Amino acid sequence: MQEPENLRKAFADLYGIQGNVPVLFFAPGRVNLIGEHTDYSGGFVLPCAIQYGTYLLIRKTDDNLIKLASVNNPEKTFIPVTDHFSKQAVRWFNYPLGVFEQFVEKSIPVGGMELLFYGDIPANAGLSSSASIEVVTAFALNHILNGGLALLDLVKMSQKAEHIFAGVNCGIMDQFAVGMGKANHAIFLNCNNLEYKHVPITLSGYKLIIANTNKPRSLADSKYNERVAECQLAVAFLAERFSINKLGDLGYPQFFKAQDVIPDEVIRKRARHVISENQRVLASVASLLKNDLAQFGALMNASHDSLRDNYEVTGFELDTLVEEACKIPGVLGSRMTGAGFGGCTVSLVRDDVIPAFIEKVGTEYKTKTGLTADFYVAEIGDGVRLV
């Protein structure tokens, strides 16, 4: 679908042309360059917004109904405007409805409206399609309802919608990157206090290549919430020695000396990943500011190793993509990105070897897994916006 012309036609075909002119909004997806499974532990992350995302056409009506439809999904619904929205059986409805509920909780009156979504983010790939839907809905509602909310408020509301309506105890990174993205910059975010800065990325002669495993996965049904609980348990043990609330409060030298306070080796490994990953993010920012792409690539590789060995969220498909990527001359680094258990990798690949990279990695992956990977050249774009 070519945006936004065909989307406007689809909107007119679905809802008619009478009434207010629909308004178009866009929120990107995101790829996390490094800093995985650290956000809900108050750690550091380094994501960026990408060119793929979610479009939303929306207009106000007088019929006191919330009408939801998506070009990507066959299910449609209409829900009476109410002072309390409830979760629905159709999963994708819950992402926008969770946001509607957040506006109701803030006593911002919600009236009738028609919404049509279209997204070109691969579903269930770990590129934040759900956060993209949530943030574009929040941004659009704030605009057309004259909510007067700051962008950071919309980001927090979107995260809360994910917690309550999708049942995923996610950190703030996904919604933050979708909302606060800036072209040609990554976001260095401290998830403990939400301090952030945009870090320029100069990829002279290189590109970020996203590879989708196409392994079926569902974030809410995966072991994501289990990892959150394991990190909380690690904090409980470490709090006997240190005054901390989250793993992100602890430096690696402190942890290294005191890690035996955690009696369970599995829980110890979970903490080891989070705390060492924080150090890799700090080192990555320094590398990018010096334009040392080789060092940044090495940190990407070390991140994947820890996610595989300490956090155990990769799996055969992701490991195969990374292993095959690292065999290609001209690849500086490769790692899983997102929650894991399937989803995507991100690799830093020299321009002149990109065709060979896609062909060779794709062939070996198909041979070893029986699945066909999809490859995307990522462009680092801006965050949520009115189109």
Nearest to 358 by CA among 376, 344, 345: 376
Residues 6+ apart with CB under 8 A from 189: 39, 44, 45, 46, 47, 172, 173, 176, 177, 195, 196
Does 174 participate in catalysis according to the annotation?
A: yes
How far apart CA 303 and CA 285 sit, in angstroms, is 14
Alpha carbon distance 372, 363 (integer Å):
8
Measured torsion, CA atoms of residues 50, 217, 117, 179, in degrees rounded to the nearest 10? -40
Q: Are 248 and 254 in contact (CB under 8 A)?
A: no
- CA 114 to CA 78: how far, in whole Å? 9
Are 127 and 181 spatial neighbours (Cβ–Cβ below 8 Å)?
no
CA pair distance 121, 136, nearest whole angstrom: 14
Contact at 8 Å (CB) between 106 and 54? Answer: no
Q: 174, 305, 319, 382: which one is catalytic?
A: 174
> What are the Cα distances from residue 92, in Å, to 88, 124, 130, 233, 332?
9, 12, 8, 32, 37
| Residues carrying an active site annotation | 174
